[in-house]
Amino acid sequence: MSLGGCGASVAVRASGAAGFAVVGRELGGFSALVWDPVGDELVAASRAQDRLVRLLSRDAGDEPLLFLEPAQRPAALAFDRAGRLLVAETASRALARYDRRGGRQVIAWGFDGRRFGGPRAVAIGPDGEPWLVDARWPDDERAAELREAGVYRGVADGQVVRVLGDDQGEPRALAFAPDERTVFVSAVAGDRLRVLALDWAPAGTPVRPRRFAELGGSGSGALAVDARGHVFVATGDGVTVLDPSGDLAERLPAPEPVLALAFGGETGRRLFAAGATALYVLEVRWPGARR
């Protein structure tokens, strides 16, 4: 659905929340964010600086605590249902899992005998299996074994199956609806950003993706979904919020383009946004979907 007109707007920001507030001016440039419900803190990845850090920790407040360095140029993060951290690593071209003691295990490295080009997004699916987006990074000069970008679903023994190619745009990010029956995928087709939706049955295969929203313009395409099914998409001028039907719910201007999004905080109603120069937060009405 095109968002050329504003239509009816449903406010998702909390009452009294004027807009994104700065958490820290020295906390910019993160490629991924994820809230750790066990540690009650934000974990952030910097692909450019090749490190993982802990933020807003009880131990250090606003000061970042080094979690891992070097970190295989991390591009995306997710916690699985056992509380282990999944990291999409662009240097190793693999999806790795870290336990609470720092032990690392590669759980997926390629498809059909060929290495990934550069994992850039990860999420946990309905059965607890990892899903990931693989797309070659422009700054990676290594020869590509997988030339087609795509979305993959993890299965047993480190194997993956492809559920979406790049014929409707190069995938950028993915996130699940609260009922886990739909996976949203942001994609770039030419100079246009769009969101696709795949209806999913845990025991079956997804149907052909449908166009959920046409956003146009640019942006990282980072995604987050709240408990009411609103889809938050990082666009060039901030965050565009779509209702569960794909219509515009609200636009959330940001001081700079948003690179990553994550819900967190004690109630899950804080929306964190990473920019190139700072980390921002906005109080919203509903908590994030439990992903």
> What residue spans define the domains of the chain?
33-254
d(C-alpha 174, C-alpha 70), whole Å: 25
CATH topology (fold) of 33-254: Neuraminidase (2.120.10)
Which pLDDT band holds residue 7 (cuts at 50, 70, 90)? very low
Write out the two tokens for 18. 């004027």
Whole-number CA gyration radius for the chain: 18
Query: CA dist 243 to 5, 15, 239, 240, Å?
Result: 14, 18, 13, 10
Which of 143-157, 238-252, 275-289 is the least confident region? 143-157
- Per residue in 71-97, pLDDT tens? 999 999 999 999 999 999 999 999 999
Q: Which residues pair with 250 in a beta bridge?
A: 241
Q: What predicted TM-score, i.e. pTM, was given to this entire model?
A: 0.93
Q: Which residue has the higher pLDDT, 176 or 7?
A: 176
Taking CA atoms, 80 is separated from 13, 96, 130, 142, 208, in Å, by 28, 12, 8, 30, 27
- 149: helix, coil or strand? coil
- The model's confidence at residue 206, banded by pLDDT at 50, 70 and 90, is low
Q: What is the DSSP letter of 156?
A: G
Is the pLDDT score of 247 beyond 80? Answer: yes
Burial of 105 (0-12, 13-18, 19+ CB in 10 A): exposed
Give the distance, in angstroms, between the CA of residue 57 and the centroid of all CA atoms in the same chain.
21
**SS3 string of 113-161?**
CEECCCEEEEEECCCCCEEEEECCCCCCCCCCCCCCCEEEEECHHHCEE
